[in-house]
């Protein structure tokens, strides 16, 4: 603002309030992390009904939990609608209950975001975010600036980091797979063999084969990743490098792989996919975000945050809009594609060899 323009005092105050709010958004993440580490959702869930702060505290693995501190954390999480708080009519202690949000924080639930939340809020994974401005000034890879090596290199030499990372990937894979199986019913029907490129420890392929027993499943990832993979019926694990060659199959499945890489690397991967599948009938099933920068869908804001996550954690990766997907697919040898919406954060991009 300059010159003699009139100042809208109300708008300026709102602007100040907004910046304070954005400044402390990290407190929401840390409160959520605290709740997951203390298993607060699990403690409430185990009672089968809303419970008091004292009951929550008695379930925390500690001889002397600080109930005052707990109450302050819960106050913020109630405000954010993660938990409910209901005063008792007889003047007794407030009862805290679960919401649709806190049910995603249960450790032992079939579908849980708890491992992903712990992973994304671990100091190792938060450190690269502090390098965003350096990436703007200098280019380069944020994770490497923070840790002196890229994310995959750290995972290959640090078993603790490897486990945190794999657990985070596995929990989101389960959630996405549930959405894929419900929203992509006919997509696997004609596939005899399927290779999951970057399939981690094989949980995704196991889910697909369980639902479609006729499929011969190949779980393909780096050797140190598949080395820790459990045995699954109908799935074989293959170690290798997707930039060199991909095992042959009727179709290639890739979930949240392409966003880790820049366009040039994505084209290399797609060209190797093209070699791995039949000339006329083959297809690639890509599960990724399709960015809608102006969109108002329930996941569109998260999509833009994920794009910055790619700066923080990947080797030059990014989330892509549909025109950006069209470009890399064409350069990789896939002239036809369609986008299929599923009830989840990503969509399915089905690309055809013919």
Rg (CA), the chain: 23
Q: Which two tokens stand for residue 1?
A: 């603002």
Find the helix or strand (DSSP H, E) in which 144 lies. helix 142-147
Euclidean distance between CA atoms 181 and 179, whole angstroms: 6
Euclidean distance between CA atoms 339 and 344, whole angstroms: 14
Find the helix or strand (DSSP H, E) in which 124 lies. helix 123-126
List residues with catalytic annotation.
259
Q: Which two tokens stand for residue 138?
A: 């200098």
């Amino acid at each position: 603002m300059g010159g003699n323009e009139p100042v809208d005092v109300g708008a300026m105050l709102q602007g100040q309030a907004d910046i304070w709010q954005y400044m402390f958004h990290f407190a929401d993440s840390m409160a959520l992390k605290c709740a997951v580490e203390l298993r607060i959702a699990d403690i409430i869930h185990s009672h089968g009904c809303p419970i008091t702060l004292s009951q929550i505290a008695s379930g925390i693995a500690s001889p002397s939990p600080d109930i005052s501190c707990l109450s302050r954390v819960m106050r913020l999480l109630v405000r954010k609608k993660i938990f409910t708080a209901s005063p008792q009519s007889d003047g007794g202690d407030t009862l805290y209950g679960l919401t649709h949000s806190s049910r995603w924080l249960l450790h032992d639930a079939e579908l849980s975001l708890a491992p992903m939340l712990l992973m994304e809020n671990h100091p190792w994974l938060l450190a690269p975010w502090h390098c965003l401005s350096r990436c703007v000034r200098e280019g380069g890879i944020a994770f490497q600036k923070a840790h002196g090596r890229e994310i995959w290199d750290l995972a290959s030499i640090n078993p603790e980091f490897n486990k945190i990372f794999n657990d985070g990937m596995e929990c989101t894979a389960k959630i996405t797979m549930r959405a894929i199986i419900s929203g992509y019913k006919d997509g696997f029907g004609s596939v005899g063999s399927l290779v999951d490129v970057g399939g981690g420890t094989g949980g995704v392929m196991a889910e697909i084969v369980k639902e479609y027993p006729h499929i011969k499943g190949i779980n393909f990832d780096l050797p140190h990743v598949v080395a820790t993979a459990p045995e699954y019926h109908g799935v074989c694990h293959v170690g290798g490098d997707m930039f060199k060659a991909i095992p042959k199959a009727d179709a290639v499945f890739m979930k949240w792989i392409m966003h880790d890489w820049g366009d040039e690397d994505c084209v290399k991967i797609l060209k190797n996919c093209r070699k791995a599948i039949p000339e006329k009938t083959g297809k690639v099933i890509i599960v990724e975000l399709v960015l809608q920068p102006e969109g108002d869908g329930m996941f569109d804001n998260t999509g833009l945050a994920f794009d910055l996550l790619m700066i923080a954690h990947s080797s030059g990766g990014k989330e892509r809009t549909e025109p950006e997907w069209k470009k890399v697919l064409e350069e990789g040898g896939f002239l036809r594609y369609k986008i299929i919406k599923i009830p989840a954060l990503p969509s399915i991009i089905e690309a055809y060899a013919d």
